[in-house]
Structure 1
Amino acid sequence: MARRVRVLLLTLLLVVTGSVMSSAPASAVIGGSRSTYAPWAVRMLIDGTPACTGTAISRRWIITASHCFFEQGNPVADKRISFRVGSLDMRKGATVHPVPRGRVGSAKADMMLVEVPPMKVRTARLATARVRPGRTVRQYGWGATCTGDENSCQSPVLKQSVLRVLRPDARRCEGYTVPGGSDFCMAKVSGIPAGGDSGGPVMSIAPHGAEVLLGVFDGSDREKTAGAGEISRQLAWIHSVIQGQPRRQMHRVPAR
């Protein structure tokens, strides 16, 4: 079994049981800071309960993690899903719902594109170049700010962590990256994403409005290592979906 604790498993337990116990000690976004700018950040809820984070990449499309849409291996119905958009405080902003049968999963990464009615938000620009080792990045989410019962400490306001991209063959990246895969691995600088941050944006650090979306967060060990699907390696798929090309069937992403 991979040594990381997948946010996948914690997200599913948050939705199914409403209570999650984490075995990995950590500091909370555990130990991160409060975000002051992220107009493209989206909070995903299932049955009104906070579940995951996402990113608005066009007025009609949100990208998040595929595993957020499964409970015990079964797809979550569209009618149970909603998104809060337009505010860093999830108690404010607007609510949008998925367009029926308007979600499309990647066959190569833990990513899901979800179509919604037009949103009045600033959208994220997509990275076109690969993420290089040594780069410092910023991850955003409304997820857990504590260990233990992560459901009890979901943040109502957007938080952020700072991470450093590692070489894919680094020993600590085992279980986060595979040869030829679409994920990259990151080390904690300040804060570490946790349950509820799944699907959240991993952005370049740049002046407000100049950031680009580098990745979609998909897992961490709650201590020092995290992983994300790489946007630049999924650009062809993303463009084919949002530009209205024939859609693929929703793909199941197995636990890793």
Structure 2
Amino acid sequence: MKTPTRALFGTLAALTLAASGASAATAAEHPIPSTTSSTTTPNIIGGTYATSPYIVQLVFSQNGGTYGCTGEAISSEWVLTAQHCTDGDQWMDVYYSNSTTNPGTPVAADAVYNSPYGDVGLVHLSSPKSVSSYGQLASSYSPSTADSGTIYGYGARANGAQSDHLYKATVDVLGSSTDAYGGRAIHVEGIDGASNHGDSGGPLVIGGKIVGVCSTGDVADPGADINARSNYANLTGSRSWIASTTGV
């Protein structure tokens, strides 16, 4: 389906995959500035249980509502996610537990940054959080139909059921597409699972490297379709920006 040039919460017109009414925990209000250069969510359906030291839960306030997304710690101070999860935030809390029912103590963000090249956002933590390993970013990626990868997220399960944990699924690459901000994206199709609301910002991993973050779905409600298709913002266009902003 076609995506808008700007992702909007509160509408499923293009299925940006952030989840409303996030319930990871009650987030304290932490005002944060949104730094943007020039531009203006889903749970895994099917798939399997997953664990990761660096795939995090994001809970934030935007346009008067509270929402949830998925993110990836790329260093002790920085988290990668989708721009529609950072654009216009009033506050954001980051949870490092893989359990959504016992998310633990959050780390507050003190700034968010929005890529000028597509649906890619960065979160800076108010205090460093060290983990055993961090997400590794590809230097570049060109979509190939010969590729398959793994997606991860805390988003809704089949038919919108709330997730209790991090899940992963295998997807096939279909080719190139467009993300929610008009940037380059990777079009994927679920094999044993697919993205859903709340998976926004979650990683697409190919060859052990993060090549994209979840941006939009092809349909407004994927229901229980483990073969649903979605679009992951390709990090290639934003890679230099990420490096210059974070040093990663």
TM (norm. structure 1) is 0.71
The residue aligned with 1:95 is 106
The CA deviation at 1:93 is 4.2
Within 1, Cα distance between the matches of 2:212 and 2:93? 22
1:149-164, aligned counterparts within 5 Å? 150=160, 153-164=161-172
The answer to whether the 8 A contact 2:151-2:205 is kept is yes
Q: 1:50 to 1:155 in 2, by over 3 A?
A: farther
1:14-33, aligned counterparts within 5 Å? 14-15=20-21, 29-33=44-48
The answer to whether the 8 A contact 2:172-2:189 is kept is yes
The residue aligned with 1:138 is 150
The residue aligned with 1:123 is 134
What amino acid maps onto 1:135 in structure 2? D
The CA deviation at 1:67 is 1.1
Within 1, Cα distance between the matches of 2:165 and 2:184? 30
The answer to whether the 8 A contact 1:194-1:219 is kept is no
Within 2, Cα distance between the matches of 1:235 and 1:129? 7
The residue aligned with 2:200 is 198
Structure with bigger strand share is 2
The CA deviation at 1:2 is 2.1
The CA deviation at 1:49 is 5.9
The residue aligned with 1:19 is none
| 2:18 maps to 1:11 | yes
The residue aligned with 1:56 is 73
Partner SS state of residue 125, structure 1: coil
The CA deviation at 1:146 is 2.4
1:32-51, aligned counterparts within 5 Å? 32-35=47-50, 37-46=51-60, 51=68
The answer to whether the 8 A contact 1:65-1:216 is kept is yes
Within 1, Cα distance between the matches of 2:149 and 2:175? 14
The answer to whether the 8 A contact 2:86-2:122 is kept is no
Structure with bigger helix share is 1
Report the identity percentage.
26
1:148-187, aligned counterparts within 5 Å? 150=160, 153-168=161-176, 181-187=183-189
The answer to whether the 8 A contact 2:86-2:123 is kept is no
The answer to whether the 8 A contact 1:176-1:183 is kept is yes
Unaligned runs of 5+ in 1: 17-27, 206-210, 245-256
Partner SS state of residue 210, structure 2: strand
The CA deviation at 1:142 is 0.7
Partner SS state of residue 97, structure 1: strand
Between the two proteins, the alignment pairs up a number of residues equal to 206
What amino acid maps onto 1:125 in structure 2? Q
What amino acid maps onto 1:32 in structure 2? G
The residue aligned with 1:225 is 229
Within 2, Cα distance between the matches of 1:29 and 1:217? 11
Within 1, Cα distance between the matches of 2:2 and 2:193? 22
2:90 to 72, 77, 86: 77
The CA deviation at 1:201 is 1.1
1:234 to 231, 234, 238: 238
Q: CA RMSD in A?
A: 2.8
The residue aligned with 1:214 is 211
The answer to whether the 8 A contact 2:86-2:113 is kept is no
TM (norm. structure 2) is 0.73
Unaligned runs of 5+ in 2: 4-11, 23-42
1:171-200 CA-to-partner distances (Å, cap 9, x unmatched) read xx5x6599x942111111111110000011
The CA deviation at 1:136 is 0.7
The answer to whether the 8 A contact 1:29-1:192 is kept is yes
What amino acid maps onto 2:206 in structure 1? S
The CA deviation at 1:131 is 3.8
The answer to whether the 8 A contact 1:176-1:185 is kept is no
